[in-house]
Structure 1
Amino acid sequence: MDRDDVARRVEWAVVDSDIGPLMLAATEEGLVAVVFHARPEVRDRALRRIASRLGAELVEDASGRLAEPIRALHAYFAGRIQQFDVPLDWSLIGGFNRQVLRELASGVRYGTVVGYGELAGRVGQPGAAQAVGAAMAANPLPIVVPCHRVVEGDGGIGGFGGGLETKRQLLALEGVLPEPLF
């Protein structure tokens, strides 16, 4: 197998978390996708999309490439880490969306939130709040690239691809919202 064959291999695994099953996928470059609610039909649809977009062969975690991202996610949910230090593969996202997500990953710390409009301003596009919302919806690396930390400017929680209850749980974990009473 030559280097090009290895680079096109995407390894994946489904792991349990405090917010339900998550599917993680990684290339040789790094973590490329995190998928919420990874029941078999959701997982299979996501894997087909990843394989199509990357022209990749899919392999269930064969080399241990996902070991560190899995450890980091477990540490995050246990409250032992506040930021992810795992290699990321940004190849599923480009252009403005990538610019916004990179700013989010580097500039919005654990336990804080940012408004859609403010994030648009940070990337030099004031007035592009709706485009920032679209970038959040397209985020292939939720939790690790913390789109749950982006909220409406008026204090509303905003939308979330993993569902609003999942967003509330993540914000509660980070101390932004109170823990649910029941």
Structure 2
Amino acid sequence: MPMVNKAAGSGVILTGYTQSRADLEAAYGEKAMAQVIEGNFNNLIMLRVRDKYTAELMTDQLPEVETTTVMQVSGATDSSNLDSEQDFTSSTQDRISVVQGPMLEPNALMSLPKGQAFMLVNGGELYKIRIPLPEDEHISIPETPRQMTEQMKRTGFTPIPRTPS
């Protein structure tokens, strides 16, 4: 808990992951403690989740937005006046209405395809992202962090240098 509270101010980059909000509650024994931890993370990346409670961790942070809907209405009326040359009248209308609603519903997070996620960064900017999935299922994973670092250097990725503690 102290590490999560002090991480940003001390320059430490902390990454945490879990499958559900209930995992944090189970680990710390109470909902309030889990909410303190959730509140200390600045950015949130959420792939497909299985329950509404977990999805609401992101959707509850988003504002409501206005959306416009267009409804087409048409109708016809017969004329009952036999002396008139007009047999019927018709009308067509487009009705535009503005509705206030959530920017993102929890079911959008619960139905994401594999490799897609929503990302909430910079104090509220929402992005939908796609994570490239490996095409070959037989990918060799380096056995040690040193081998991983060497492989990253060969492929153009520069590892973040460790600072002495």
Quickly name the TM-score band, shorter chain normalised: under 0.3
TM-score, scaled to structure 2: 0.25
Could you say which structure has the larger radius of gyration?
Answer: 2
Q: Which has the higher strand share?
A: 2
